[in-house]
């Protein structure tokens, strides 16, 4: 196309893209696509890594919980002995006796015998290090545990287990006392002198029909008394440590006037006594 302007001739041509420019644009597009794909792949790899690491952490946590449960069961089975063992526990022996698997990385430690309000026990800690590889640390004297944030730990308190045994024994003794009191209430209607007769040390003329309790002038093993024959079904003969529960109708008992009582006693392996009275209902 020609245009005349002031006697001059101007020539205009249609612009055309150069093949080199088209190639450069295609190359840039491909590089951009590769970068996007690479970024997506990196994100996928990172996500897979995080998922795998989380799955590993859950597996380790489940292992620790099972191991801690097995050690608690082992500790309960040895409560009486452990209450008198002052030194730290040999954790390799404990793990073996409790049938706890010991994969690489599992750590275990025990304190010496600690005490809280007179109740003794060991603190045991299990751990599996995280990505940092740093273990947990247990102070054998205080029971304090220090662990990095990525370290998984489980803590077993022998003091809590001994305290639970103490509470369980007290509850058993209380059920026993209530059962004896129900039996004494039933005998009241059979006694000649009603509440003036001591149902726990019955003697003529107060002796009622049926089998009475023997006169227990000292504390004796409750397992030596034929409770079933008397009709008492809630008697307990062992405490939570496996030792005998004892009874007496004279020691620590009210025998001079109503309400009369019968004494029940347990002796924890770490000292002291638990005593409870079954009291004659009036």
Residue range 52-88, pLDDT digits in tens: 554 666 788 888 999 999 999 999 999 999 999 999 9
d(C-alpha 77, C-alpha 91), whole Å: 16
Whole-number pLDDT of residue 15: 45
Residues 85, 91, 96, 100: what is their CA dihedral angle, to the nearest 10 degrees?
Answer: 120
Least confidently predicted of 23-32, 114-123, 142-151:
23-32
pTM for the full predicted model:
0.77
- The crossing angle, in degrees rounded to 10, of helices 19-77 and 158-188 is 50
Residues comprising the chain, all counted: 282
Whole-number pLDDT of residue 31: 59
pLDDT digits (tens, 9 = 90+) for 82-98: 999 999 999 999 999 99
pLDDT digits (tens, 9 = 90+) for 227-245: 988 889 889 999 999 999 9
Residue 278 has pLDDT above 90, yes or no: yes
Query: Pick from 236, 238, 239, 241: which is nearest to 77 by CA?
Result: 241
Stated as kind and residue range, the H or E segment containing 241 is none
- Spans of all domains in the chain: 34-157, 163-279
- The residues, ordered by sequence, that sit 6+ positions from 238 with a Cβ below 8 Å of its Cβ are 223, 244, 245
User: What average pLDDT score do residues 247-262 get?
Assistant: 96
d(C-alpha 176, C-alpha 248), whole Å: 13
Share of the chain above pLDDT 70, in %: 78
d(C-alpha 272, C-alpha 279), whole Å: 23
Mean pLDDT of the chain: 84
d(C-alpha 235, C-alpha 227), whole Å: 7
Residues 14-36, buried b or exposed e (16+ Cβ, 10 A)? eeeeeeeeeeeeeeeeeeeeeee
> What is each CA distance from 167 to 135, 153, 170, 221, 274, in whole angstroms?
35, 27, 5, 20, 10
If you ran DSSP here, which 8-state letter would residue 140 be given?
T
DSSP for 17-69? --HHHHHHHHHHHHHHHHHHHHHHHHHHHHHHHHHHHHHHHHHHHHHHHHHHH
Residue 276 has pLDDT above 70, yes or no: yes
């Amino acid at each position: 196309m020609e245009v005349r302007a002031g006697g001059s001739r101007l020539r205009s041509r249609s612009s055309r893209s150069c093949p080199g420019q088209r190639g450069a644009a295609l190359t840039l597009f491909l590089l951009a696509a590769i970068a996007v794909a690479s970024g997506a792949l990196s994100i996928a790899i990172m996500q897979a890594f995080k998922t795998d690491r989380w799955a590993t952490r859950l597996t380790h946590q489940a292992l620790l919980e099972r191991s801690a449960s097995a050690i608690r069961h082992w500790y309960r089975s040895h409560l009486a002995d452990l209450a008198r063992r002052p030194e730290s526990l040999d954790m390799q022996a404990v793990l073996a006796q409790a049938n706890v698997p010991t994969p690489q990385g599992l750590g275990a430690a025990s304190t010496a015998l600690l005490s809280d309000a007179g109740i003794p026990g060991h603190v045991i800690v299990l751990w599996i290090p995280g990505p940092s590889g740093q273990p947990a640390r247990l102070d054998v004297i205080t029971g304090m545990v220090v662990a990095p944030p990525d370290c998984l730990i489980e803590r077993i308190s022998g003091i809590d287990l001994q305290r639970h045994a103490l509470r369980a024994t007290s509850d058993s003794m209380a059920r026993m006392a209530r059962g004896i009191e129900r039996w004494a209430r039933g005998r009241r209607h059979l006694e000649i002198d009603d509440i003036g007769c001591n149902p726990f040390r019955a003697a003529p003329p107060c002796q009622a029909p049926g089998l009475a309790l023997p006169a227990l002038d000292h504390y004796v093993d409750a397992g030596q008394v034929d409770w079933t024959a008397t009709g008492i079904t809630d008697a307990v003969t062992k405490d939570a440590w496996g030792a005998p529960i004892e009874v007496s109708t004279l020691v620590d008992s009210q025998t001079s006037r109503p309400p009369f009582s019968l004494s029940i006693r347990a002796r924890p392996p770490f000292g002291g006594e638990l005593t409870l009275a079954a009291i004659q209902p009036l």
